[in-house]
Chain A
Amino acid sequence: MTGTAPQRLKPRLILRCLRRRWKPRPFKTKSKPEMPHGWGGLAPVFVTITAITITAILFGLSRLAATAQTQELTRAQTRQRLLQDLDSDQLRDAVLLGQQAVSRWPRDAQFRHYLGVAYFKTGDAKQALEQLTRARELNPADSATHFDLALVLLSQQNDAGAADELEATIKLDPSNVVAHELLGRAYLNSNRSLPAVDEFKTALKLDPAIKHGHYNLGFAYFSLGRNDEAISEYKEELRRSGESPAVVYELGHALLASGKYEAAVTYLQRGVELDATNPDVWYNLGKAQALAGQASQAEAALRKAAELNPKDPSPHYQLARVLEKLGRSEEARSELERFAELKKAQPASAGMATGRDQ
């Protein structure tokens, strides 16, 4: 899509973002066992060697036969081991151990939670969803389970489901900044822009330094057509976080939508300097230049947009208009024909046309 705010945040971006943000819960460390006394001088060495040997054997056995080993561990030890595996990204071990734990203690919500996380980290979202859903059923009062379930649902683009889980998370833990931020994005992806604004505002209130906080809020305002507020938030994000291609682009885009063409050109030009591979930035730069009366420059930008995204009809529509203004009617006609061809090739849209849902 070109020229308007994307309806959905890009799935890959969400996933990266989620994985970056996801942190396993910390270890619950136990106190060190005390050494026995009364073995004389050799006793400590003997004990140490023996202990090391036994540990090594046990460790090896555990890797060879997790089942047998799990039977020997207590519930607490299993929990600790599972967390250890998760934290050290020993994911296959974590899955094996988790499976055994769940089989042994089927009503233990935490084991299902950890197993779900292990599955998610190995990329098996379906199993992750199953385990986390069961964990939530067993212990609906655990905010961490709701949160992790939401992460999995977000990765599946199930924004409505994720929103439910994030709402539950926040009910149990209102100070969870990331939950507010993710809930805002889930709302935005479900076109529920008004509550998205509220969530982004809450996240900023809880943590004014949250990264992308003003960007997210600006995006939500823009989706509501509240362009002036969006512009103000984007500017604040730039002020706080420094220049980033996404923020510069969205700012330029919002200025363009507000009819502030010259300012839009300035930001969008910077946008293509920061990321010359994004066809949307080139397209909107061309559109802004055309509307600011810079037809020749617009032509170049629009041709670049068409080159980067050859299946997009929009640059050809704009090009036709620009070329007509430049008095090159034949070329304009040819661009309109190209525009019509590409439009025909696009899959039919469902629902009402809104000028942005193509």
Chain B
Amino acid sequence: MKHTREPKMPAWNLWPRLKALGVGLGACALALGQALAQSSTQPLPQVHLNAEGLAPRPIEELTGTTVARYYALAWHEMAGALESGRTAALSDEFIGVAKERITRRVNEQTQAGVHVRIVDHGHNLKAVFYSTDGAAMQIFDTAQLEIQTFDGDKLLDTQTAPHEYMVLMTPGADRWYVRDLQEVSAKSF
């Protein structure tokens, strides 16, 4: 009869436990990283800019492309911040009053335990004013958004109606900034 006995693990031999702990921590870090990166891995929303008949200054093609790109980036960042509750997700696409307002909203949401998920189906922009010196552009945006509001994990409300926004954008050294973003009713257009 063969009698085998597991050798008693000495108290100082923590390697197997550390290995298990490491695997666990790695899995947690991976999951956390995926969760944090989720917003940034979302594709940029589709943005179409119509600048036909823009006055008093016409728009250059490159300017139109740049405006659309940075507006898409701004929405991408805002959606990420509103969902994650992290104001760090907002970088330089918003400036001035627009940035202050979104930052305050995100902070208060976090305090209330609320978060918002925006499923962005695209934006149709109509440029309505471009100052002669090129210092400001006013745009109306018709956005197709699905906005889900959560308290913790509980879905409180879902809104799918089109949203209209009045936007003021100003140029910087290498980009266009969103200086004002104000939701308006369609009759304001």
Asked whether A and B interact, the reply is no
Binding site for A on B (CB under 8 A): none
Binding site for B on A (CB under 8 A): none
